[in-house]
C-alpha cells in the first residue's frame, strides 16, 4: 500500500540540495539561443521561471512528497557549444529534504528548453537525432545537524 511517510515528529532542520542535468543540442541551435533568434522566445529565462514554478509544486505531482516551505531556490545555465547544463539549488528549513525539488526543477527546465527549440532540432523526417537530455543527478545534499541548531 502506498502512503506518505509520517514526518510529524521530525525536527525542522536547514536543508539544501543541488541538482544538475544537460540537454545536447545542435551547435546551430545554441547559436540561435545566444542570438535570441528562437521563434518561441528566449528559452533560458522561460526555463528559469518554469523550473522555479516546478520546484514549488513538487508535492502536487509526486504523490509521496510533502509540501515543503522553500526558503530559497535558484536556477543557472551554462551554455556550451553543443549543450546547455542546468543547475538548481533549493533550500528549506523543514522536516524532510529538498532533493526531489532540485531534480524536478532541472527536469522541467530541460524540457522547457527542448520544447522551445524543437523546431530547430528536427531533421527532415521530423525526428530529433541529436537532441537528448541526460545526466540528471543530485550533486550535493546537505543537512545541518541538530548540534548546529543549538
CA 26 vs. chain centroid, Å, equals 21
**Cβ burial 87-113 (10 Å sphere, 16+ → b, else e):** bbbbbbebbbbbbbbbbbbbbbbbbbb
Candidate list 12, 82, 115, 123, residue with the active-site label = 115
- Annotated active-site residue 115? The verdict is yes
CB 97 within 8 A of CB 141: yes
The count of C-alpha atoms lying within 13 angstroms of the C-alpha of 16, restricted to the half-sphere facing its C-beta, is 10
Element (H, E) at 101: helix 99-121
Burial class (CB in 10 A: 0-12, 13-18, 19+), 84: buried
Give me the active site residues, please: 115
Amino acid at each position: 500500500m502506498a502512503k506518505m511517510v509520517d514526518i510529524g515528529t521530525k525536527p525542522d532542520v536547514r536543508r539544501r540540495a543541488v541538482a544538475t542535468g544537460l540537454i545536447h543540442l545542435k551547435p546551430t541551435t545554441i547559436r540561435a539561443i545566444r542570438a535570441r533568434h528562437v521563434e518561441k522566445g528566449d528559452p533560458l529565462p522561460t526555463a528559469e521561471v518554469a523550473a522555479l514554478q516546478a520546484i514549488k509544486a513538487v508535492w502536487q505531482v509526486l504523490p509521496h512528497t510533502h509540501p515543503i516551505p522553500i526558503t530559497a531556490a535558484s536556477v543557472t545555465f551554462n551554455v556550451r557549444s553543443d549543450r546547455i547544463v542546468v543547475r538548481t539549488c533549493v533550500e528549506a528549513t523543514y522536516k524532510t529534504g529538498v532533493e526531489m525539488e532540485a531534480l524536478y526543477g532541472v527536469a522541467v527546465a530541460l524540457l522547457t528548453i527542448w520544447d522551445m527549440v524543437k523546431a530547430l532540432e528536427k531533421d527532415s523526417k521530423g525526428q530529433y537525432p541529436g537532441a537528448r537530455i541526460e545526466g540528471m543527478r543530485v550533486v550535493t545534499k546537505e543537512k545541518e545537524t541538530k548540534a548546529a541548531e543549538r
